[in-house]
Amino acid sequence: MTTRKLAVVVLAAGLGTRMRSSMPKVLHAVAGKAMVNHVLDAVAELSPDRVAVVIGPGMTQVEAAAAPHTTVVQEERLGTGHAVMAARPALGDLADDPDADVLVVCGDTPLITPAALHSLREARDERHGLAVLGFQAAEPGSYGRLIRDDGGDVARIVEAKDATTEELAVDICNAGMLCVGAPLLFRLLERVGNDNAKGEYYLTDVVGLARTGGEHCALRLAAESEVQGINTRAELAQAEAAMQTRLRTRHMRNGVTLVAPETVFFCHDTAIAPDVIVHPHVVFGPGVSVGEGAEIKSFSHLEGATLSAGAVVGPYARLRPGAMVGEGARVGNFVEIKNASLGRGAKANHLSYLGDTEVGEEANIGAGTITCNYDGFGKHRTTIGAGAFIGSNTALVAPVRIGAGAIVGAGSTVTQDVPDDAIAVARGQQSNRDGAAKRFREMRNAEKAARKTTSAKG
């Protein structure tokens, strides 16, 4: 394992015009996280001494996403070599340190793994002044080709637009990432020209220049899916699919049952304990934690929610940020919870909305219950005590407290606190008028017949 210091340059200045988006390319999300942050997370596993993110002019959103890392503005987009040179001042004394390496990575490769980056860095050894990361492409297309010598080292990198027919037949392609001894890298970049089809300063030219100077360039191969760059919406969708496959596999290896894995969608930070069962067509947004033995039934959507051990959610449940479902508690079909907690064993099984609410242990929330938490100006809380029973089709107008063991009659609109163990009924007085329904029907039928007679005479 190398003991050299490490500086990392992340290339993130691309506009991503083929994305047809006003948002910078590297901010588009995969599994709920911006592409550039996936890359920075992978880089962090290498414990770099310094990280510099190269951005374009006006990319304040990318600057914010990359924080606390240093960002450097590439004022003119003159190629990848020019971008790395723009980052040099941000690397400080590491740029001239003979015991330091510079690792250059792409900000639009969200599937890159720490293992691939570790392998690339280890390839830059005493014999090899630099190392590049490549992959065997199923369809090489417009990728740069890695041309190797008889010993397997990289002799040069040729961009597709500049390649000969023979070079285009090579299927070992450039992933756009390399590791170079720091002083060597910047000496080589000073010699890079722009006499090519794009008129740009290619970072890849340092390989040929290094070989001319007697340096060797090692090659490390990664899976094509790991180094996939994102330039279009279609490629973004492909990356999402690959990431979801990776996340599903990870959760199943950790003891989670996915009844139909291909229908479940995870966020990058979804945390699920062993022996959880996830049924088909469940979506996890950011910030979800699920305790051991919980069960999430089909067509449920969870975001910013915490489920304790043994909780049961769904089907067709929506848990919004701040939802907390206690041990053994149940959230049933067409129930929405936001900034609300259900205590141990509590139940809200049907057609309810609980917002800004605390539900005590073993309380039962009847079908159609709504906590009216917003008065048009502010949010207010509802507290429901342990063991309380809320009848169907009840509106609890916050702020209000329902005491422990209390019962609220079905159809009530509750605007005042209910004491412990009390029964509250808040609805209009029922009045029965004997025979009124029959008289009503006779009257309406007579009116209908009269209209028909009038119409026939006309």
* 392 marked ligand binding residue: yes
Percent helix, strand and coil across the chain, each to the nearest 5: 25, 30, 45
298: annotated binding-site residue?
Answer: no
13 annotated among ligand-binding-site residues: yes
DSSP string over 13-47: ----GGG--SS-GGGSEETTEEHHHHHHHHHHTT-
Closest CA to 271 of 283, 248, 287: 287
Q: How far apart are CA 349 and CA 384, in angstroms?
A: 16
Q: Is 11 annotated as a binding residue?
A: yes
Nearest to 245 by CA among 231, 257, 261, 223: 261
Helix (H) or strand (E) holding 442: helix 436-457
Length of the chain: 458
Q: Is 350 a catalytic residue?
A: yes
Pairwise CA distance, residues 180 & 1, whole Å: 16
Question: Three-state SS for 71?
Answer: strand
Q: Name the one residue in this structure whose structure tokens are 């342990």.
A: 386
C-alpha span between 47 and 45 (Å, rounded)? 6
393 marked ligand binding residue? no
Separation CA 291–CA 123 (nearest Å): 42
User: Is 274 strand, coil or helix?
Assistant: coil
Any known ligand binding at 346?
A: no
DSSP-derived secondary structure for 320-384:
-TT-EE-TT-EEEET-EEES-EE-TT-EEEES-EEESEEE-TT-EE-TT-EEE-B-SS-B--EEE
Tell me if 444 is assigned to a ligand binding site.
Answer: no
160 is in an annotated binding site: no
Compute the distance between CA of residue 176 and CA of residue 14 in angstroms, rounded to an integer.
Answer: 14
Q: Which of these is catalytic: 118, 216, 350, 380?
A: 350
Q: Known binder of ligand: residue 121? A: no
12 annotated to a ligand binding site: yes
202 among the known binding-site residues?
Answer: no
430 is in an annotated binding site: no
- Residue 353 marked in a binding site: yes
Parallel, antiparallel, or unpaired: how do β-strands 353-355 and 5-11 relate?
unpaired
Q: Which of 57, 177, 172 is nearest to 108 (CA)?
A: 177
Residue with the two structure tokens 């047809």:
20
- The verdict on whether residue 373 carries a ligand-binding annotation is yes
The C-alpha atoms of residue 319 and residue 133 are separated, in whole angstroms, by 42
Query: 377: Cβ–Cβ under 8 A, 6 or more apart, which residues?
Result: none
Q: Does the annotation flag 449 for ligand binding?
A: no
- Residue 263: partners with Cβ closer than 8 Å, 6 or more residues away: 280, 281, 282
205 is in an annotated binding site: no
Q: Is 364 annotated as a binding residue?
A: yes
Q: State the catalytic residues.
A: 350
Annotated binding site for acetyl-CoA: 367, 373-374, 392, 410, 427
Annotated binding-site positions for Mg(2+): 108, 231
Binding-site residues, please?
A: 11-14, 25, 74, 79-80, 108, 144, 159, 174, 231, 320, 338, 353, 364, 367, 373-374, 392, 410, 427
| Binding site members for UDP-N-acetyl-alpha-D-glucosamine | 11-14, 25, 74, 79-80, 144, 159, 174, 231, 320, 338, 353, 364
